Amino acid sequence: MTQYILALDQGTTSSRAILFDHEGKIAGCAAQEFPQHFPQPGWVEHDPNEIWNSQLTVARKVLQDFDVKKVRAIGITNQRETTVVWDRKTGEPIAPAIVWQDRRTADYCEELRAAGKAKMICEATGLELDAYFSATKVKWILDHVPGARERARKGALCFGTIDSWLAWKLCGVHVTDVSNASRTMLFNIHLMRWDSDLLALFDIPEGMLPQVVSSSEEVGVTREALFGHAIPVAGIAGDQQAATFGQACHQPGMVKNTYGTGCFMLMNAGRHPRTSHNRLLSTVGWRVDGETDYMLEGSVFMGGATVQWLRDGLGIIQHSSEVEALAGSVPDSGGVFLVPAFVGLGAPHWDPYARGAIVGLTRGSNKAHIARAAVESIAYQSAELLAAMQKDASMPVTEVRADGGAARNDMLMQFQSDLLGVPVLRPKVTETTALGAAYLAGLAVGFWESQEEIARQWACERRFTPAMGDDQRAQLLAKWKRATERAKAWETPL
């Protein structure tokens, strides 16, 4: 009898539900976009109930053609850092979710930096002091929603990232896994627990925080009314850690890069945190069977979202899928560089005051050159991450495994390989984020026996090898660096 694992992949712009069989193949898939809210410049919000409703809708849609009793478990993977605070009794959010891209707390982060708190935060969490992470977002909600802090102190409020919110709605449990906890800027990755000093620094009551669980263990069962049958929730991981697991990067030195709304490059650093000296993040990958794998990570805020801006902001394409043909209609960018610092710059710059810039324009520049520069910007930013990663790591990188929506763009993948100087491998199953969540859930219930069995399922669909000379690569990267410098510190802190 064929059985399945259901993965709930709650992303920044859409919610997906994917059903996987034992071979790791997709048996069913449904997706639904949900609204993005931009109430002020630099602010990005979601409605938590819209997230939940979209996730429930796609889960029900994908299950309608299957016997729900054949679903062994559910795995959750999610946009990380996005912050939800809700009422413990009613389950209703007290404010919009503050999205990872949101920059409203950048000035507060600068105050903390000036007060000398960045070193303390980095040593405990492995993270840069930045508005990207959850801690300052929780504090902002408690400071700005009337009565919220008092209610939190009385234990009436729950905080969670999106995995916690979904687990609460599915099962009524208040949990998060170690990978998501490590992205809050409140979790000590050495002691593997919430850090009391950081909670005091941000004035966040510990009682509103979720219980931290492993990435692969049963945490509850869904309410029967949701799907007509109670299903165990047995796997949770942040989207980038889940994608790394789904790419079978289980051994130290293996690297994957996800080309989604943002770009996220992760290297398996082994069983101990590795301190970065090049402004990368040291973060928890997953905890399975009592063993924790750590990662080095570089985060690019605007990856595929840059293509969405071409569509929604400039209107030079109607659908994101059109960008490859438009960009490919010219042999190169014509000297145009687009730095997509619309919400600041992530690793290795960490500049919340950078802003988007297009440089190198001439009278001969047209929309195709801008489109190509936009696509190439994704590869340039990722090349910066690998360069920093190779400086931090004592192990050589021999290949990069690519996934995410933009990884389907052959031109981007070839240009990426050219800039990195190493092969880029695209797997047959590109839904590796959902697959990783499914694998974690399946391991917990015995659907798969081991990580070795999972690794054997990984298969390459196409291998892109470098075809660019060293001199040309160096010239392009030097120009990119010049363009980036012009975008940095455009805004100034108050």
Binding residues: 12-14, 16, 80-81, 132, 239-240, 261, 304, 308, 405, 409
Q: Please tell me the distance from the alpha carbon of residue 154 to that of residue 176, in angstroms, as a whole number.
A: 21
By three-state DSSP, how is residue 48 classified? helix
Q: Are strands 175-177 and 187-188 parallel, antiparallel or unpaired?
A: unpaired
What is d(CA 484, CA 488) in angstroms, rounded to the nearest whole number?
A: 6
Determine the Cα–Cα distance for residues 289 and 291; give it in Å rounded to an integer: 6
* Cα-based distances in Å from 10 to 32, 72, 80, 281, 287: 10, 20, 10, 23, 20
Summarize the annotated binding site for ATP as residue ranges: 12-14, 261, 304, 308, 405
Cα angle: 339, vertex 340, 342; to 5 degrees:
130
- Which residues is 73 bridged to in the sheet? 5
Pick out the residues of the known binding site for sn-glycerol 3-phosphate: 12, 80-81, 132, 239
Q: Which residues are annotated as a binding site for glycerol?
A: 80-81, 132, 239-240
Residues in the chain: 494
> What's the distance, Cα to Cα, between the start and end of the chain in Å?
63
Secondary structure of 261-273 as H, E, C letters = CCEEEEEEEECCC
Residue 422: phi and psi, rounded to 5, are -135, 160
User: Which residue in 418, 399, 409 sits closest to 248, CA to CA?
Assistant: 399
The annotation places the binding site for ADP at 12, 16, 261, 304, 405, 409
